[in-house]
Amino acid sequence: MTWEVLTVLTVTLSLIGLLVFTAYPPDVLFVGAVTLLLVGGLLTPDEAFMGLSNPGMITVGVLYIVVAGLRRSGAIDRVATAFLGRPRTVSGAQLRIMLPVAGLSAVLNNTPVVAMLIPAIQDLAKRARLSLSRLLLPLSYAAILGGTWTLIGTSTNLVVDGMMRGQQVGTPLQLFDLAAVGVPLTIVGVAYVLLAGRWLLPDRVPMLRQLEDARQYSIEMQVPADSPLIGRSIEQAGLRQLPGMYLAEIERDGEVLAAVSPQRQLQAGDRLLFVGVVGSVADLNRLHGLVPATDQVFKLETARSSRRLVEAVVSPSCSIIGTSVREGRFRNRYNAVVIAVSRNGARIPGKVGDIRLRAGDALLLETHPSFVDQQRDSRDFLLVSPVEGSAPPRHERAGVALTILVAMVAAAGLGLLPMLHAVLLAAGAMLITGCVHASEARKAIDWQVLIVIAASFGLGTAIEKSGAATLLASSVLDLAAGQPWLTLAAVYLTTMILTELISNNAAALLVFPIAAEVARDLGVDFTPFAVTLMMAASASFSTPIGYQCNLMVYGPGGYRFTDYLRMGIPLNLLAGTVTVTLVPLIWKF
C-alpha cells in the first residue's frame, strides 16, 4: 500500500468518523478534507475544485430556483394536496409518498423529483402533525428505487449502457428491461420502510410551543366570491386540523355560527375567525382561497404577493396609545395593516379596528418588505421582527409555473435538451414570468448542500487517483475465487461500497472495466454484470455522500450520519440479495 493510498484512506475514514460522531457542519468537514488533500499534494487545485463547475452540482443549485418558483406561485401546494392527500398516520404518508415518487423517478431524473417534493412534504408534515424526519428519507429512497426501473431513471444507467455499446460487450438493453429487477426491488424497499421505519427512522418532531405559553392571535379571514373553497366542507378545505390553530366561529349574513362542524360547507362572503400562534397565522395567510377580512389590506400600495407578515410590539412612547386602530389611522400612518392583536399572550376579542392599543400589545401586521428596516429604530415600537415564510403565494402564477415545469421535464426527458440546459431555461422563465423574484431565488439556494456536493467530487477524485478505489475493487473481486455467482455478488458489494464513499457514476466507471475483464476471464456474458453494476451504483442508502437525493434531504430532515447507517445498511443488504438472486435468473451467464 503506497503512502498516497494510506493518506487518502486515513482522511476519508476520519471524515466519516467526524460526520458520525460530531455535530460539525458537513460542508465544513468536506471542505476541510479536500483542503488537507490539496495541501498534501494529492490533489491539484483544478481537481480539488472541479466540483464547482460540475454540471450535476450546478443543476441541483439551479433546481432550487425552479422549486422556489413552484413554491412562491402556490403550484406545489395545489399539486401536493391532490398528490399526497391528507394521511393520518406516518405509514400512510410514507406509502402515499413512495409509490408515486418511484413511478415518477422511473421516467424523470430523480434529482428534480426530490427537489420539487421536499417543500410539499414539509407542508404535509406540518399540516398532519407528522415527523418530517420519518418522511424525507423515504422520499429519497423511493426516488432512488424508482430510478432502477428504466435506462433513463438515473444517469448511471445511461453511463453503463453507453459503455456497453461503446465497447461492444454484453447485450444492449431496452428502455424497460431493468424493470424486471427494479420493480421487485422497489416493492421490497417500500415494504422494508413501512415495516422497519417505525423503529429505525428518527422521530425528531420540533417542539411546538403550547398555545397557552405562546402569543395567541385571533385573525378573521374571508371567503372571496372567486374562492375555489366555495362549496367545500371545512374538512375538505383543510381548515379542520391546522397545527397550532383552530377555527373558532363563522360569521355568515350577520349570524355567528359557533362550534363549527367539519362538514359545514363554505359560502362566498363567509368570515372565518381563527385563533392560533403566529406561525400558524403565516400558514393561513398562504392558503389559496382565503383573504384577510379587513378591507384595509386592499388599500395598501404594495402588491399583496410582495407583502410580509411582521410582528411589532407597541412602545410606551407610541403616539397612538389609548386610541383604537381605526381612530389612530394606523394604515395611513405606517403603511401597514393590523390584522391581529395579542395582549399578555392572549387574543383580544372583537373587531381589530375597535381595539384600543396599549403599551406592550403585540401587533401582527401585513405590510411591505421594507417596513422592518424603516421601523426597527422607531420610538413607536419596542420590537419589530418579520414572520418567516409569510409572503402570500402568487396564486395567479401557479399555472405558469406548472407549465414551465412540464416543459422542462419534457425537454430533458425527450432528449431535446441536456438536463442542465433545460433547468437553466426553466429557472430563467420562472424569473422572467414573475413566479419568483431574484431576491427570493438567491435565498432559496441551499449553499451548504452545494458545497458538500462540490467537495465530494474532489474527494472522489483523490480516492480514484491515489489507487485506493482500484485496490478496494480488485481485493473484493479476488474473494470470488472464479465462481460466476460469487463474482456477481462481489461486483455488487464493491460497487455499493464505492458508491457510498464517492459518487454513483464514479463507482460505476471504476468497477466497469474490472467487471468486464472478470467476465471475459470466466468466459460468460457480461450483461448480468452490467445490470448488477447499474443496480449497485444506484442502491446508495446508507450514507448521504453517495447519492445527491440523500444529500438533499440531509439538512431539511435534521438527519445525522448515523441515521443513514441505521436505516440504510439493512436496505443495502436487501437490495443486494434481491439483485444477485434475480439477475442470473433473467440474464443467464
DSSP sequence for 151-191? TTSSHHHHHHHHHHHHHT-SPPPPTTTTHHHHHHHHHHHHH
Q: In what order do the strands lie in the sheet with 245-252?
A: 255-258, 245-252, 271-276, 217-222, 291-292
Mean pLDDT along residues 466-470:
77
Instruction: Give the CATH number of domain 211-276+289-386.
Output: 3.30.70.1450
Mean pLDDT along residues 561-577:
93
Report whether pLDDT(298) > 70. Answer: no
Which amino acid does the sequence have at 351? K
> Where exactly does CATH 3.30.70.1450 map onto the chain?
211-276+289-386
| Intra-chain end-to-end CA distance of the chain, in Å | 34
Report whether pLDDT(134) > 70. Answer: yes
Report whether pLDDT(541) > 90. Answer: yes
Contact between 407 and 426 under an 8 Å Cβ cutoff? The reply is yes
pLDDT tens for residues 478-503?
766 667 888 889 889 888 988 887 76
Q: 471 falls in which pLDDT band (50, 70, 90)?
A: confident
Percentage of the chain beyond pLDDT 70 is 89
DSSP β-ladder status, 291-292 and 217-222: antiparallel
Q: What angle do CA 358, 362, 364 make, to 5 degrees?
A: 125
Report whether pLDDT(350) > 80. Answer: no
The cell for 149 is 426501473
**Amino acid 413: pLDDT:** 66
Report whether pLDDT(109) > 70. Answer: no
**Amino acid 531: pLDDT:** 94
**Amino acid 296: pLDDT:** 60
Percentage of the chain beyond pLDDT 90 is 17
Highest mean pLDDT among 289-298, 425-434, 544-553: 425-434
Full-model pTM: 0.65
DSSP 435: S
**Amino acid 410: pLDDT:** 81
Mean pLDDT along residues 392-406:
83
Worst-scoring range by mean pLDDT, 1-5, 354-358, 478-482, 585-589?
478-482
**Amino acid 473: pLDDT:** 61
Average pLDDT, the chain: 82
**Amino acid 503: pLDDT:** 67
